[in-house]
Amino acid sequence: MAEQKDNAVVVIGLGRFGTALALELVEREVEVLGIDSNPRIVQGLAGSLTHVVAADSTELEVLQQLGVDEFRRAVVGIGTDMEASILTTSLLTDLGVPDIWAKAINRQHARILHRIGAHHVVQPEHDTGKRVAHLVTGRMLDYIEFEDGFALVKTAAPTWAEGRSLAESQIRSRYGVTVVCVKRRGEDFTYATADTVINPDDLLIVAGKSGKAERFANLT
């Protein structure tokens, strides 16, 4: 195998998910090889990605010719065509790509992708649906949950904490959460310390067990 491309990603399947991901990588100055079987999609992205090719990713020879085995990272953005998604992912495993990300459209699909060697499986609609459920019912402005039930929450500062420092309001001992960052109106987020005083209209980033972080965010 040739020397692996470290700062490059091959993105296979340039639907809504794959295209958004590929364009974001380019924005972050990562070299991207985009592959999609639909020539219209490929034409539309020519000039926006580093390289973009119309090809069927379920053919081993095609992937070899495109040098996919030289990449350290690959993302399979094919979802709807589950057979193509599974075949492509297993070929990437056979080619020894060390870091394979794949998109699944349901739980069974996700399980198969894990089984055949995908290192990371995402379910964008399922994951976003879960996240939005936390946002629509309360005062949280953003919510990220990690595997072990730990969450980061963005929320407006509760009015009862205004005018007091974090040490004075004893948020950690009373609510079991840590205020990580505070943002004053018109300013950037800054790291919070025990002396940080909460002002009206401040935004907070709070870390803690998801139930506790959510409960804290819903206090007014």
Piece of 10-18, 64-72, 161-169, 190-198 that binds ligand ADP (CB under 6 A) = 10-18
CB atoms within 10 A of CB 149: 11
Piece of 51-59, 134-142, 157-165, 192-200 that binds ligand ADP (CB under 6 A) = 51-59
The residue with its CB nearest to ligand ADP is: 15
DSSP 43: H
CB of 186 to ligand ADP, least distance (A): 36
> Judged by CB under 6 A, does residue 16 bind ligand ADP?
yes
CA angle 81, 33, 120 (to 5 degrees): 55
> Judged by CB under 6 A, does residue 76 bind ligand ADP?
no
The Cα–Cα gap between 72 and 8 comes to: 7
Nearest to 18 by CA among 112, 102, 129: 102
CB of 62 to ligand ADP, least distance (A): 8
Site string for ligand ADP, 82-101 (x = CB under 6 A): --x-----------------
Q: Which of 9, 10, 11, 17 binds ligand ADP (CB under 6 A)?
A: 17
> Judged by CB under 6 A, does residue 58 bind ligand ADP?
yes
Q: What contacts 157, CB < 8 A, 6 or more positions away? A: 182, 198, 199, 200, 201, 202, 203, 204
> Judged by CB under 6 A, does residue 41 bind ligand ADP?
yes
- β-pair type (178-183, 140-145): unpaired
Check if the beta carbon of residue 21 is closer than 8 Å to that of residue 49: no
Check if the beta carbon of residue 32 is closer than 8 Å to that of residue 25: yes
Q: Which amino acid is at 73?
A: R
> Judged by CB under 6 A, does residue 9 bind ligand ADP?
no
The Cα–Cα gap between 199 and 208 comes to: 22
> Judged by CB under 6 A, does residue 173 bind ligand ADP?
no
CB of 12 to ligand ADP, least distance (A): 6
Binding residues vs ligand ADP (CB under 6 A): 12-18, 35-38, 41, 56-58, 77-81, 84
